[in-house]
Chain A
Amino acid sequence: MNARRQAAALAAPAVAVLGGIAVAPVLAAVWLSLHRSILIFHEQRWVGLANFRFLLGDARFGSAVSTTAYFTAVAVSAELALGLLVAVLLQRGGGLFRAAVLLPWAVPTAVSARMWAWLFNPDYGLLHRIAPGIDWLGSPRMALHAAILVDVWKTTPFVALLLLAGLQAIPEEVLKAARVDGARPARVFFSVTLPLLRPAILLALLFRSLDAFRVFDAIYVLTEGGPANATETLSIYAYKTLMRSGDFGYGSTLSVATFACVLALGLVWLRVLGRRR
């Protein structure tokens, strides 16, 4: 066997696994989205684009898109701002400080959501004890922000570590030169550090926004999309349609729509990242 064939053979299992469990299911979801398919009735028939026509007029879908977009925009902005602060603090922190900050990243999302549900508890929760009178999970306006808070707590450590890696890659001489030229610390940070940190910031935005857009765990555990569907994101809506209603046709349409949104978001970020070069 020649070397090229042997190389392909070494890579083949990975290609087969990724093709079989990731690429094929996405294509199958597209196929299913063109059908009416109700699991318990064993019904499956071709309906063409009917599901997608329904999708365009589906107010619940529209509201799920805007809920997901709002969640992503607010959560990722907050994580970036807080992550930057934490990264700057970590620059001169010891290993123990870094490990302490890393801890929320390692806590399972389902666990952290349950933990925050207890903090949000309207009768005995810690937040109620500190600042009573806020109905964190009960009011439609507040509940989405409560979910954002959980996401910020859980994922800011990741953002901070990415930005810290970016900060550490900035050569010390550049900062020293700015200081010698008489720039004050704030000026050095905003005029020198921040522009040099741009690649790391964009990368954090790429990873985090794609991840936040598919949010499921935290919202499922906190509110299951309630109250009054106020926290229903695309993943939650698609999950309920697939697994609760057993509607694999329209559920797949929602999954495909979610996939298309994430793909579009990813392509936009890649363009932004590419322009820099």
Chain B
Amino acid sequence: MKRALAVAAVLSFFLGPLAWQALTSIWPEAELTRPLPRSLTLSSYAGLGGTFARAVLSSLVVAAGTTAVSLAVGASAAFAIAKLDFPGRRLLLGGALAISMFPPIATVGPLYLVLRAVGLRDSLAGLVLPYTTFALPLTLWLLTSFFQELPDELYRAARVDGCTPWQAFLHVFLPLSWPALATSAILVFIFSWNELLYALTFLSTPTKRTVPVAIALFAGEHVEPWGQIAAASVVATLPLAILTLLFQRRIVSGLTAGAVKE
């Protein structure tokens, strides 16, 4: 009984605000002053229009691009750290962990100047690069611990069969690593989809804004359009909610990978 009460309290704290936001999104704007709506409407969603659809598209492009870059760069490095011998491999893994703890405000100024100098400021491609500061360490960490769990004999056998280290990675280890690649991809996608500071700083054209920037800067002409903000929030959250529900096992194991190993 005490447990049921505690579960109910926890669930209402975590889900209550989301439910209220979902209700607000279908609550007629003119009736927001009432205790509860008398009718429901989808007009807040219709009012979002093309600008917000473009924001969703921008976010998709940036998140997918970041995921692709960090997996492409991270997988081979993680394999090298886990199975091969080269100077500084421990330093690389430790350094990546330290970098993931860097406050983004420490890098945002110089990155702004560099992106401006090379003409990549205010472009989605220019956003992918800074995003790898948090995406690549995560990918390296997850994939390295996955490769470390695969037996060393696998690598030796591939070498005996005449594979170079590169071929062993490409033909033996990479095909086995899809579960870890999927976990990394999901986490990197979510983190990129949610990022605000870099996107806010580097993008200046309103039509290029990503979803978090669009929602942070959402403003009406006279009053705050709460119904539309709520509708935009639902649209921004829905893909993540679906990912979370479908892949919660993967997400949880990825997030706690470091903790369990300790």
The residues of A with any CB-CB pair to B shorter than 8 Å are 1, 3-4, 6-11, 13-15, 17-18, 21-26, 28-29, 32, 85-86, 89, 92-93, 95, 97-116, 118-119, 121, 123-124, 126, 129, 153, 156-158, 161-162, 164-166, 169, 199-200, 203-204, 210, 213-214, 216-217, 220-221, 234-235, 238-239, 242-243, 248, 251-252, 255-256, 258-259, 262, 266
How many B residues are at the interface, by size bracket?
35 or more
Q: What's the nearest-Cβ distance from chain B to residue A205, in Å?
A: 12
Contact in complex: B251, A118 (CB < 8 Å): no
Digitize B13-29: 1 where CB-to-A-CB distance is under 8 Å, 0 elsewhere.
11101101100100000
Q: Which 8 A-B pairs have the closest CB atoms?
A: A14-B77, A7-B84, A214-B103, A28-B110, A110-B212, A25-B107, A108-B194, A259-B106
A109 in contact with B196 given A11-B80, A15-B92, A255-B106 (CB within 8 Å)? yes
Digitize B160-197: 1 where CB-to-A-CB distance is under 8 Å, 0 elsewhere.
00001110010000000000000000000010011011
Contact in complex: B14, A104 (CB < 8 Å): yes
In the complex, 8 of the A-B residue pairs with CB atoms within 8 angstroms, ordered by the A residue number, are: A22-B107, A23-B95, A100-B11, A108-B212, A118-B226, A118-B229, A156-B14, A258-B106
Residues of A contacting B229 in the complex (Cβ-Cβ under 8 angstroms): 114, 118
Quick one: closest A residue to B135, CB to CB? A17
Contact in complex: A238, B92 (CB < 8 Å): no
The residues of B with any CB-CB pair to A shorter than 8 Å are 3, 6-7, 10-11, 13-15, 17-18, 20-21, 24, 32-33, 35, 73-74, 76-77, 79-81, 84-87, 89, 92, 95-96, 98-99, 101-114, 129-130, 132-133, 136-137, 140, 164-166, 169, 190, 193-194, 196-197, 200-201, 211-213, 215-216, 218, 226, 229-230, 233, 236-237, 240-241, 243-245, 248-249, 251-252, 255-256, 258-260, 262
Contact in complex: B7, A255 (CB < 8 Å): no
Contact in complex: A259, B136 (CB < 8 Å): no
Q: What's the nearest-Cβ distance from chain B to residue A116, in Å?
A: 7
Contact in complex: A111, B20 (CB < 8 Å): no
Residues of B contacting A242 in the complex (Cβ-Cβ under 8 angstroms): 108-109, 112
A11 in contact with B248 given A32-B110, A118-B226 (CB within 8 Å)? no
Q: What's the nearest-Cβ distance from chain B to residue A34, in Å?
A: 13
Contact in complex: A262, B226 (CB < 8 Å): no
Contact in complex: B17, A213 (CB < 8 Å): no
Residues of B contacting A13 in the complex (Cβ-Cβ under 8 angstroms): 73, 76-77
Q: Majority SS of interface residues in chain B?
A: helix
Q: Majority SS of interface residues in chain A?
A: helix
Residues of B contacting A89 in the complex (Cβ-Cβ under 8 angstroms): 3, 6-7, 10
Contact in complex: A29, B110 (CB < 8 Å): yes
Among A4, A25, A109, A116, find the residue whose CB has the most chain B CB atoms closer than 10 A.
Answer: A25
A158 in contact with B213 given A17-B136, A114-B218, A252-B109 (CB within 8 Å)? no
A239 in contact with B14 given A21-B129, A98-B248 (CB within 8 Å)? no
Among A3, A21, A104, A248, find the residue whose CB has the most chain B CB atoms closer than 10 A.
Answer: A21
